[in-house]
Amino acid sequence: MHVLILGGTTEARRLAELLHGTPGLKLTNSLAGRVASPRLPPGETRVGGFGGAEGLAAWLSEQAVDVIVDATHPFAGKISFNAARAAAATHVPLLAVRRPGWVPVEGDRWHEVGSLEEAARALPALGRRIFLTTGRMGLAAFADLDDLWFLVRSVDAPEPPHPARMEVLLDRGPFTLDGERELLRRHRIDVVVTKDSGGAATAPKLTAAREAGLPVLVVRRPSVPEGVAVLPDAEKAAQWVREHLEQGAFPAVD
């Protein structure tokens, strides 16, 4: 059985680790190629796009893929919808792995918004020194906010357009609570901007912001394509794949 993992996340790497070496299973990991030095998972790896839904459908047929596991980032919406269309066109079963989103607790000062553009419009009323943790790909939304100062954290250096007053911090999670506390203090941050990525690796910034009484702009994640089965972690996804391998039919997703 040939399994294609659409990856680039902690869950995708964990799933590849769990499935690698399983008798009767061929594993291909697909990475978008947006990170210069990605952490490669076990198994075969391809890097780069497929050419939209039609290109992915053609690749699925050429490579005789039996199942797709979409374990991409919760905000990688384009590939998820392309995968859904390609799976429907080729009749290849599709499973999505999505870590649960963050939930505010007492003391949080969250402002939920629907997009980076909406976050940019809300920022001037909330503060002047911004900790921007939404990645390097969406900085254009904040490029016109010349009166604000940004600390931008990303894995790779961003390219224009981006805010004029900006300091870049190149780093990769997981991050510690003590480290996030010190970062907020040292840079005199008064607003945090994040996507609702979920997971533990980058969650300490939310705790640090809560302790400091800072507002947090949280960009809501896009929905999973309609009709796609969803599991919350790699362990359950690996079990689902193994059950199919053993039974020759895909089990229902609870």
Which structural domains are found in the chain, ordered by start?
A: 2-100+222-247 (3.40.50.720), 109-219 (3.40.50.720)
Where b means 16+ CB within 10 Å and e means fewer, 143-161 reads eebeebbbbbbbeeebeee
Average pLDDT, the chain: 92
Q: pLDDT category, 199, cuts 50, 70, 90? A: confident
pLDDT of residue 244: 81
Cα Rg of the chain, angstroms: 20
Taking alpha carbons only, the member of 121, 120, 152 closest to residue 136 is: 152
CA 238 – CA 20 distance, rounded (Å):
10
**How many other CB atoms sit within 10 Å of the CB of residue 235?**
14
Strand ranges for 118-250 from DSSP E: 129-132, 149-154, 166-170, 191-195, 215-219, 229-231
Q: Binning pLDDT at 50, 70 and 90, where does residue 137 land?
A: confident
The 10s digit of each residue's pLDDT in 105-127 is 999 999 999 999 999 999 999 99
> What's the pTM value of the predicted model, to 2 decimals?
0.83
Looking at residue 186, its pLDDT comes to: 98
The pLDDT value recorded for residue 37 is 65
